[in-house]
Each structure stands twice: as C-alpha cells, then as structure tokens.
Amino acid sequence: MVVSRLYKAHPSQGPRYYLRLLLLHQTHVIDWQSLTRVNGIDYETCREACDALGLLKDDEEWKNCLQDAADSQSPHLVYSLFLTILTQCHPDNPAALWNEFKIQICEKFFRKKKYNPITATDEQIAECLELGLQQIKADLGTINPEKSNGFYELPEPEHYEFHGMPQIILKERNYDQDEQKTMYEDNYAKFNTEAGIHSQKEVSTNFVYEFFFKSSVFSGI
C-alpha cells in the first residue's frame, strides 16, 4: 500500500490525529494489525502505538504539529492550535513550546500591527508577544478561570486586566450610556406622523404591534 497524500488532522480529533501520525512513521504497513504493531506487540489504539514508538515523548508530536501548521496554515489557526494543545493535549513542557514557536503563535498580531516578523525590531517583537500573551491569558481565563498562563508555565503579560468574560462581550458593552440615551430620546421623538395624527403612545404601540406581532405571523415564528 502506498499513501501519496494525507489530509491534515487536528489534535482535538483524537484517533484521526494519531492514525495520521502512525501513517507518517510506520513502514511495511499492509493492514490495521501491522499499523498498530510495535516491536512485535499489537496495540489496541493508535495512540498506544504512537506512545510505544516514542512519538509522544518530549512533546515531539506537538512540535511537529505546530511546525506543520506554521508552514501551511493561517496565523489564526496556528494560535488556535497552540491553545488546543495547551488545554486538551497535556504537553510536558508548554513553556518550551512557547519559546520555540512564539513568533509563529503570535504572527497574527504582527500582521495586525503590520510588522514583518523577520525584520521587526526588538521593541516591535516584544509588543506583539505581549499582545499574544494577553490574548492567551484572556482565552484561557474564558475556557477555565482556574487555569491561566501561570498554570501552563507561560510568561505572564506585563499589562493585563481580566473582567471575567470573553473579550468580544466586553467590546460590545464598552459604550457611552449617556450618548446612547440621547440618541434614543432623539429617535423616539420622531416616532410620529407628519400630520401629527397619532400620539407618541399610539405610534409606539403601533410600532410594537407591526414589528413583533405581524412579523412573527408572516415569518411563521
């Protein structure tokens, strides 16, 4: 059997990921038994066979996985992959993975700042790594508030404030209430016909009826 091409597999896919790992390293494979056999011992799962081959020691599989992603995937996916490895794959030395791949992990922040990781100054690199550590801390806090950068032996960001909720929600809630109130009052005052036949209350009631009742009837809600 000759395998000419293998599709990518994410570590969170479990058995599919370990199957791909075996196919990349095992030779003379003719069936399932020969695929999961290591040193004359037949293993029940691909993960056990990978472990027996030494593919899961010293975080080698995660290094290969990150390098593969860095070579062929988008910066956002590399960052997401690193989070998955941290939270689901139990690497032996997360700090070593960070130190080896921190530029690739934070490449999306380089792009956001329009810096070239190759030609960036030390100050620009430090700035992007700081943004990366801040985002990692926020995302880890969202996934599990009890586990953050320190739990995974990652550097702590120099400047950070966590509010206990996802950043996208914080961004949506970050608005001027007085400004919104003034906008509401100005727009509400316009809820009337040009002839001035209806009162504000009537217009408001009709608006609610038209918008909620009729729209739900016609949409089948």
Q: Are residues 109 and 211 in the same domain?
A: no
Contact call for residues 18 and 27 (beta carbons, < 8 A): no
The maximal CA–CA distance of the chain, rounded, in angstroms, is 92
pTM: 0.54
Q: Are residues 66 and 106 in the same domain?
A: yes
Is pLDDT larger for residue 124 or for residue 185? 124
Q: What is the mean pLDDT of residues 204-219?
A: 49
Q: Are residues 34 and 68 in the same domain?
A: no
Q: What is the mean pLDDT of residues 74-79?
A: 93
Q: Are residues 167 and 87 in the same domain?
A: yes
Q: How confident is the model at residue 148 (pLDDT cuts 50, 70, 90)?
A: low
Domain that holds residue 192: 177-219
The Cα 129–Cα 121 span in angstroms is 12
Q: How many helices (H) and strands (E) does the chain have?
A: 12, 2
Q: Which of 31, 55, 79 is the last residue of a domain?
A: 55
Q: How confident is the model at residue 195 (pLDDT cuts 50, 70, 90)?
A: very low
* Residues contacting 188, CB < 8 A, separation 6+: 200, 204
Q: Are residues 71 and 104 in the same domain?
A: yes
Q: Which of 153, 172, 191 is the last residue of a domain?
A: 172
Is pLDDT larger for residue 171 or for residue 134? 134
DSSP state of 156: P
Q: Are residues 155 and 183 in the same domain?
A: no
Q: Which two tokens stand for residue 35?
A: 């695929």
The size of the chain, in residues, is: 221
Q: Are residues 168 and 201 in the same domain?
A: no
Q: Which two tokens stand for residue 133?
A: 């550590």
Predicted confidence (pLDDT) per residue in 90-132, tens digit: 787 888 899 999 999 999 999 999 999 999 999 999 999 999 9
The Cα 100–Cα 106 span in angstroms is 12
Q: Are residues 123 and 41 in the same domain?
A: no
Q: Are residues 51 and 62 in the same domain?
A: no
The Cα 213–Cα 198 span in angstroms is 20
Considering its fold, how many domains does the chain have in total? 3
Contact call for residues 116 and 107 (beta carbons, < 8 A): no
DSSP state of 41: E
Per the listing, tokens 């996934």 go with 143
Per the listing, tokens 């995937």 go with 73
Contact call for residues 114 and 128 (beta carbons, < 8 A): no
Mutual orientation of helices 122-143 and 75-88 as an angle, nearest 10°? 50
Q: Are residues 137 and 214 in the same domain?
A: no
Tell me, what's the pLDDT at 174?
A: 63
Q: Are residues 64 and 166 in the same domain?
A: yes
Mutual orientation of helices 122-143 and 94-105 as an angle, nearest 10°? 120
Q: Which of 55, 73, 96 is the last residue of a domain?
A: 55
Q: Are residues 35 and 119 in the same domain?
A: no
CA 42, 55, 69 angle in degrees (round to 5)?
A: 130
